[in-house]
Structure 1
Amino acid sequence: MSDNKSLTPEQLAEFVLAFFQDSMPFNQALGFQIETVGDHEVQIRMPWNDKLMGNPVHKILHGGATAAILDTVGSVVALMYGIKQLKPDEVDEFKNTLANNGTIDMRVDYLRPGKGKEFIATATVIRRGRKLAVCRMELHNEEGQHIASGTGTYLVG
């Protein structure tokens, strides 16, 4: 992408997805595969990895990995939702503020042990203002068992 040419909202959305998936070593270490599933929804898939085991006796996903995938899917959906709302003349300004975005607060409710071959995190925006977004996140395994839920507040403006 040329710095001299204005981006479209679609190009900015592609940039954000690539940034979270390909430019963050932690997300790469966890094996995140980020996908959009509609205008305002994002899902992240994470395959089982023995290095992410929190309980080796029962082969259960570590709570930190659970929190990380929920936080990431919340961050991405908050940004994607904002991008979809942009006017064409706001796209470049929004891209320039991406480095200032981040998690303000997050709560995770661990509902059952993280067992499975693959974990799928989804998120939706509950409310978004000019500077903050509140998102609801869920983590399921490949069988659809609900592992954890989260609510996050993100700085996005």
Structure 2
Amino acid sequence: MSKHTILPPLPFEPEFVEGLRQVFEHRIPFNQVIGLKLVEMAADHVVGRVDMRPELVGHFSYNRLHGGVISATLDAMGGMAVMAAIGARHMDEPPARRLERFLKLGTIDLRVDYLRQGIGEFFTAHAEVLRLGSRVASTRMEFRGADGTLLATGAAAYIVS
């Protein structure tokens, strides 16, 4: 990802980080199905991880990750990047109030470009917000193999209000 930063990096309160992690990893059933975990969260980017499992195979001959897992991961990470940016923008609010803003978030548009096969033990997804407006946010995402190889890219727009 580029080092383009739209917000100054701010430390989040542990309650905010844990609240987002709980929603992301435990209250969104599909994230549980694919095993998506939040690895890193800052005001200007987020990183997630998916471990390869037999249930995620899209092509049995190659043990290749299903493209739907890749697109769902990129979409979820783009949304999480928006939540981190919103959380940073509203640091004057208590963590619980900022977490309520998650309820308004929804994907408007998602584009995924598959560049290479998803073969490996695990994968990481990186996302950043390019623009956070009052109603719409734009993001850019990357899906990488365990060795850092770029496997797919994504761009998305999310409704935030």
The answer, yes or no, to whether TM exceeds 0.5 is yes
In the alignment, which residue of structure 2 is the partner of 1:58? 62
- 1:67-89 superposed Cα distances (whole Å, 9 cap, x missing partner): 01100100000111111011424
Residue 65 of structure 2 is aligned to residue 46 of structure 1: no
Gap regions ≥5 residues in structure 2: 1-11
In the alignment, which residue of structure 2 is the partner of 1:98? 102
Residue 88 of structure 1: SS of its match in structure 2?
coil
8 A contact 2:43–2:87 mirrored in 1? no
In the alignment, which residue of structure 1 is the partner of 2:35? 31
Normalised by the size of structure 2, how large is the TM-score? 0.85
Gap regions ≥5 residues in structure 1: 1-7
Residue 22 of structure 1: SS of its match in structure 2?
helix
Cα gap change, 1:134 to 1:90, in 2 (>3 Å): farther
Normalised by the size of structure 1, how large is the TM-score? 0.87
**1:1-157 equivalence runs, <5 A:** 11-89=15-93, 93-157=97-161
The CA distance in 2 between the partners of 1:86 and 1:37, in whole Å, is: 16
8 A contact 2:42–2:84 mirrored in 1? no
Aligned length in residues: 150
8 A contact 1:13–1:83 mirrored in 2? no
The CA distance in 2 between the partners of 1:34 and 1:112, in whole Å, is: 23
Residue 133 of structure 1: SS of its match in structure 2?
strand
Identity %, equivalent residues: 31
Cα gap change, 1:37 to 1:15, in 2 (>3 Å): closer
